[in-house]
């Protein structure tokens, strides 16, 4: 029984540390498991490359994320990817980010509801 509390504290500490990564901008980042956090990670990776997508890209990113991921676990895995892997996952071989249709490099227009 005396070992239970120290073991729980150690397990909690390990779990907490596993939810933190060193960011490209310096400092540590906690995984959020949210589309907002996933898009922040993607956009910070793009910024680290000298590319600065606008607000439309963020909106499209969060919308597409919600379509792709239904739980927080895969988002946490995404947030833990290196910048190179993050950009490759989002853009694939097309080199286009969220909000860009396959046939052009222009952002998709928001759908109008009837």
pTM exceeds 0.85: no
Per-residue confidence (pLDDT) for residue 88, from 0 to 100 = 94
Q: What Rg, from alpha-carbon coordinates, does the chain have?
A: 18
Compare 25 and 57 and report the one with higher pLDDT. Answer: 57
For the chain, what are the domain ranges?
33-114
Compare 78 and 23 and report the one with higher pLDDT. Answer: 78
pLDDT tens digits along 53-107: 888 999 999 999 999 999 999 999 999 999 999 999 999 988 888 887 665 444 4
Distance CA 84, CA 90 (A): 10
- Token readout for 78 is 């995404």
The CA-based angle 91-97-98, given to 5 degrees, is 115
3-state secondary structure of 99: coil
Per-residue confidence (pLDDT) for residue 17, from 0 to 100 = 43
Cβ proximity of 29 and 10 under 8 Å: no
Distance CA 83, CA 95 (A): 14
């Amino acid at each position: 029984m005396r070992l239970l509390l120290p073991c729980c504290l150690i397990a909690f500490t390990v779990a907490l540390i596993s939810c933190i990564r060193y960011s490209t901008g310096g400092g540590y980042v906690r995984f959020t498991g949210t589309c907002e956090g996933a898009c922040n990670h993607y956009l910070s990776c793009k910024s680290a490359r000298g590319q600065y997508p606008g607000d439309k890209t963020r909106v499209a990113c969060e919308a597409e994320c919600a379509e792709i991921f239904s739980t927080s676990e895969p988002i946490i895995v995404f947030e833990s990817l290196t910048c190179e892997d993050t950009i490759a996952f989002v853009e694939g071989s097309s080199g286009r980010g969220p909000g860009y249709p396959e046939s052009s490099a222009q952002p998709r227009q928001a759908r109008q509801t009837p």
